[in-house]
């Protein structure tokens, strides 16, 4: 790793940082003004809103990194070519393969970082952001978990509710247990029910057994066929949590969840598709770097490179990749393709194109 290697790395990293920062800033500004009116309707404080958008930065960066890498690759090669630096390198006996190595090294590092982000950091940040949006901003009851199974909810003062499973439509809660605590936070009473149903804007428990704990330690049992449940959450809120469930799981948790669904003979296609999408998407910066560098090197010795042209090429290629990847994921989640094939199909297609262009470069 000589001076030339680190010179190209500095050039590339500088433009990559600039591109990613600009893209994330534009995204955040648009998203901020889109959600501002909705947040202000709930009298949200500024600190909660700002923290919400800060927590969304890892996920936004993950989504925009391939575009930033592609744009930075095209611009870096374009600027080196425009200043005749690549020509000077070749006249000194440096092959274009050696020029490409610094780009691949940075792209490999970016891929490793993205894998770490999508495996652990992004799910935790998304869960915290969803908590802020639901509880701090929209003033909903505090959810102690964001999964459709083993859901814990703080219903009101000194009461906790556990739900074994939430149905996909959010209108039926299966095996509900409510724990009521006194002012000293010791168990005052608890009730169990086979389920809770949402009808006419209200929740009601079915087949309820309540056990009241006396001060002397005795337990009194009372049974009801139905009993109202004071819960301000609506089926729409629960459906939102269900829909966001994969985003709030680390890759390890998601893999465990998939295995459990398989053992229970349940459909795990959606979770498999999301698992492989996250793994495959982390490798996209490496593919985009090969593609960007290859396109840039094809123009070595010309003066056609420009910032506008590089941005235009990056936009066009990113749109094609996004469209191809979206179609693949749609087919995968519908069951038309295997989830692993659906997640990797766009990556493989663009890798083949990238290598084909790379091999056409005159060395």
Q: State the pLDDT at residue 281.
A: 95
- With a pLDDT cut of 70, the percent of the chain lying above it is 90
Q: Do residues 148 and 245 touch, judged by C-beta distance below 8 A? A: yes
Largest Cα–Cα distance of the chain, in whole Å? 93
Distances 247 to 62, 100, 124, 233, 278 between C-alpha atoms, Å: 13, 35, 9, 21, 10
The residues facing 212 across adjacent strands are 189, 220
Tell me the per-residue pLDDT of 184-193, one tens digit each, with 9 for 90 and over.
Answer: 767 778 888 9
Q: State the pLDDT at residue 307.
A: 64
Higher local confidence (pLDDT), 150 or 34: 34
Higher local confidence (pLDDT), 176 or 1: 176
Band of pLDDT at residue 108, cut at 50, 70 and 90: very high
Q: State the pLDDT at residue 7.
A: 92
Q: Is the pTM of this model over 0.75?
A: no
**8: exposed, middle or buried (Cβ count in 10 Å: 0-12, 13-18, 19+):** buried
Distance between CA 327 and CA 330 in Å, rounded? 5
Altogether, the residues listed in the chain come to a count of: 363
Distance between CA 10 and CA 306 in Å, rounded? 20
Backbone angles phi, psi at 322, to 5 degrees: -60, -45
**Residue recorded with tokens 């996920």:** 59
Mean per-residue pLDDT for 49-62?
A: 93
DSSP 115-183: HHIIIIIHHHHHHHHHHIIIIIIT----BS--SSEEEEEEEETTEEEEEEEE-TTSSEEEEEEEEEE-T
Tell me the per-residue pLDDT of 80-93, one tens digit each, with 9 for 90 and over.
Answer: 888 888 888 888 88
Distances 148 to 140, 163, 269 between C-alpha atoms, Å: 17, 9, 16
Helix orientation angle between 284-298 and 339-360, rounded to the nearest 10 degrees: 20
Q: State the pLDDT at residue 230.
A: 81
Q: State the pLDDT at residue 181.
A: 79
Distance between CA 114 and CA 137 in Å, rounded? 29
189 SS3 class: strand
Q: State the pLDDT at residue 244.
A: 45
Tell me the per-residue pLDDT of 266-314, one tens digit each, with 9 for 90 and over.
Answer: 778 888 999 999 999 999 999 999 999 988 888 765 555 556 676 788 8
Band of pLDDT at residue 342, cut at 50, 70 and 90: very high
Q: State the pLDDT at residue 263.
A: 74
Q: Do residues 149 and 164 touch, judged by C-beta distance below 8 A? A: yes
Tell me the per-residue pLDDT of 218-275, one tens digit each, with 9 for 90 and over.
Answer: 778 888 888 888 887 778 777 655 544 677 788 888 888 788 778 767 778 888 999 9
Mean per-residue pLDDT for 328-340?
A: 90
């Amino acid at each position: 790793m000589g001076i030339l290697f680190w010179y190209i790395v500095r050039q590339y990293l500088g433009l990559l940082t600039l591109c990613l920062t600009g893209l994330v800033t534009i995204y955040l500004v648009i998203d901020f003004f889109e959600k501002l009116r909705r947040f202000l309707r709930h009298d949200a404080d500024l600190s909660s809103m700002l923290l919400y958008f800060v927590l969304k930065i890892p996920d936004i960066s993950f989504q925009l990194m391939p575009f930033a890498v592609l744009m930075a690759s095209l611009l870096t090669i374009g600027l080196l070519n425009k200043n005749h630096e690549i020509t000077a390198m070749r006249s000194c006996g440096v092959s274009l393969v050696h020029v490409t190595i610094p780009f691949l090294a940075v792209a490999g590092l970016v891929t490793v970082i993205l894998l770490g982000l999508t495996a652990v950091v992004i799910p935790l940040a998304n869960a915290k952001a969803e908590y802020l949006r639901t509880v701090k901003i929209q003033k909903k009851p505090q959810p102690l978990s964001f999964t459709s199974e083993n859901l814990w909810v703080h219903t009101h003062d000194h009461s906790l509710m556990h739900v074994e499973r939430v149905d996909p439509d959010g209108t039926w809660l299966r095996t509900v247990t409510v724990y009521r605590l006194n002012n000293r936070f010791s168990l005052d009473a608890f009730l169990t029910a086979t389920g809770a149903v949402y009808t006419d804007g209200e929740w009601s428990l079915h087949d309820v057994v309540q056990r009241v704990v006396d001060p002397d330690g005795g337990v009194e049992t009372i049974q009801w066929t139905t009993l109202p449940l004071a819960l301000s959450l609506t089926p729409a809120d629960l459906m939102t949590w269900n829909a966001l469930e994969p985003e709030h799981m680390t890759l390890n948790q998601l893999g465990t969840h998939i295995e459990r669904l398989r053992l229970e003979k349940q459909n795990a296609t959606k979770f498999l598709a999301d698992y492989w999408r996250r793994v495959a998407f982390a490798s996209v910066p490496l593919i985009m770097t090969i593609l960007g560098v290859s396109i840039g090197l094809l123009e070595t010795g010309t003066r056609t490179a420009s910032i506008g042209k590089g941005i235009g090429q990056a936009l066009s290629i990113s749109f094609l990749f996004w469209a191809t990847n979206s179609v693949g994921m749609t087919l995968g989640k519908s069951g038309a393709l295997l989830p692993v094939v659906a997640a990797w199909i766009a990556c493989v297609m663009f890798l083949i194109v990238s290598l084909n262009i790379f091999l056409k470069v005159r060395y």
